[in-house]
Structure 1
Amino acid sequence: MAKNRSYLKFEGTLDGLTYYDQKGQSLVKTKTSLTKSRIMKDAKFKTTRQNMTEFGGCAQAGKAFRKAFAGMVGMMGDSYISARVSALMKRINLKTPGLRGRRGIDLVTNADLLVDFSFNPADSLEAILLAPYASPTLDANRDVATWLVPDFNTDSLLKSPEGATHFQLILSLGTVSNYQYVDSMTKYQPVEKDFNSKGITAYSAYIPIGGMVGADTTLTADLGIGAPLPATVVAIAAIGILFFQEVDGVQNQFAQGNSLVVATAE
């Protein structure tokens, strides 16, 4: 792939060369004879088509995950979270039995692969919240999550960004259905549409930074379903922290230094 260093910057195809802009750079490549029609019809591209179908299903499952944690994705996610979630769904897809191009996305069986997924790897929760705590637990229906963080000293067991005066602990609970390929629709669909992409987040009170928290912190995230989740739906609990600076009695949230990670999935 070549770069166009001329002072003339343009886009399009000329004499077999295609000029285009990518992240502010003017690039040029040779025009290909490969067309979408050929990819979709030529027997030589059967594997490519099968991979495209599965990638499409993984993208749908990834979108369902992001929707379940919609508020947190925008607040905590890095710029690559969409691609990272889709890649995670592809790992699960490859572990699900079936014919290539028709393999399902069995999130429930492979729930362990969801654990430790960080919404922003640059801000690791284990490097920020050093206090001892257990993973959140789910009730028998899997629609209520509970997280207990014992009282701790914020001076020694919390790595807060400079200028932060307060923090909140967070517990998010989301559900995502398994996905299957539906022949009549020639695409992937959630097995349990009604239970797909549900989510809720619980926040602690604003906790001052400095000294002991003063008490154990217990968070409960309740989806309000009140009945057992279907066996083809995974419940995902993520835990995290938000930092704030208090100015004139107003809590101003920090844009960086916050963290959220999947801690329980079943």
Structure 2
Amino acid sequence: MAKNNSFIRLEGTLDGLTFYQKDGSNFVKTKSGVSKSRIANDPNFIRTRENNQEFGGAAKVSKAFRQAFSEVAKLMGETYLASRLTALMKRIVTNGIGNRGQRSIDIVGNSDLLEGFVFDRKTPLSAQFFPHYDAPSLNANRDVTTWVIPDFDTDSFIKPPEGATHFKLVLATGLLSNYAWDRNLRSYEADNEDENAIGGTAYSAGIPLEGMVGSDTTLTVDLALGIAVPATTAAMAAIGIVFYQEVTGDLYELASGNAMELVLVS
């Protein structure tokens, strides 16, 4: 891969060269010399096929995660959120059971790899919001999540971006099923499709950045499943903070300082 510094900006493929843009820069790469047919059938590419299958599974689970947290992923997530999640899911694949290329994706059994995941590495929650609080709790069915934040001094325990006058605390929850290789479909499929890639979000009222909050803050997300979440589906909770500026009585969301972290995977 090379960077295109010419004043001519091309996109597409020309004479075996592919021109494309990424993060505002222009790049060019040569077309692969190995055909898809050969990769799919040649015994010499069996490891490539195995890696491709598992990478496809990791990408599929990454997408399901982002769907579960869709209400906050764009607001809180960085440019590379999808690729970072896919890389994390690929790590989980390597811990799976089964033959290479078909190893299970055990989300529930690898909760320790997921807990602590930050949606934006440049803005970790611990750098913006650091009062004392306990992690969110789940009800017996694992479909209702509650987070209680004791009263605290906003001057001492929040680092707001310039121009912020208010903030809101956020609780986001999501369900993510384990995945397994389906020989008939030749793809990774969720163990529990009905309890997968769904979520909800709760925001506090706008809180002024002026001393004590004044009371405890309680946030609750009820997914209203009506049944217990299956043991092979993980219930996840992420907590965060969003900053606002008050202008003539209205709160306008700021683009900086917002942070979210996955703190519970059960």
> TM-score if structure 2 supplies the norm length?
0.93
Q: Aligned pair 1:147/2:147, yes or no?
A: yes
CA contact (8 A) 1:9 1:26 kept: no
Deviation digits for residues 223-252 of structure 1, max 9, x if unmatched? 111321001100000000010001111110
Query: What letter is aligned with 1:144?
Result: V
Instruction: Tell me the CA shift for residue 21 of structure 1.
Output: 3.8
1:78-227 → structure 2 map (5 Å cutoff): 78-227=78-227
RMSD between aligned residues: 1.8
For the 8 Å contact 1:96–1:103, the answer to whether it is kept is: yes
SS at match of 2:156: coil
Would you say 1:46 and 2:46 are equivalent positions?
A: yes
Q: Quick one: distance in 1 between partners of 2:250 and 2:48?
A: 54
Asked if the contact 1:175/1:235 (under 8 Å) is kept, the reply is yes
| CA–CA distance in structure 2, aligned partners of residues 212 and 62 of structure 1 | 39
Cα deviation code 1:194-243 (max 9, x no counterpart): 11111011111110101100011111111111321001100000000010
The equivalent residue for 2:19 is: 20
How far apart are the structure 1 equivalents of 2:225 and 2:5?
A: 60
TM-score by length of 1: 0.93
Q: Provide, for residues 121-159 of structure 1, a one-character-per-residue CA deviation record: whole Å limited to 9, x for no partner.
A: 111111111211111111111111111111111111110
Deviation at 1:25, TM superposition (A): 3.1
How far does residue 6 in structure 1 lie from its aligned partner after superposition? Answer: 6.2
Could you tell me which residue of structure 1 aligns to residue 263 of structure 2? 263
Q: Report the Cα distance in structure 2 between the residues aligned to 1:6 and 1:261, rounded to whole angstroms.
A: 41
Identity %: 47
> How many equivalent pairs are there?
263
Q: Shift of residue 35 of structure 1? A: 1.2
Kindly name which structure, 1 or 2, has the bigger radius of gyration based on alpha carbons: 1
SS of structure 2 residue aligned to 1:110: helix
Find the residue that maps to 1:161 and give its secondary structure: coil
Q: 1:4 to 1:131 in 2, by over 3 A?
A: closer
Q: Which residues of structure 2 form unaligned runs of 5+?
A: none
* Aligned residues of 1:172 and 1:202 also touching (Cα < 8 A): yes
User: Equivalents in 1 of 2:29, 2:77: separation in Å?
Assistant: 33
**What is the CA-CA distance between 1:74 and the residue it aligns to?**
1.2
Q: Which residue of the partner structure matches residue 37 of structure 1?
A: 37
Partners of 1:165 and 1:208 within 8 A in 2: yes
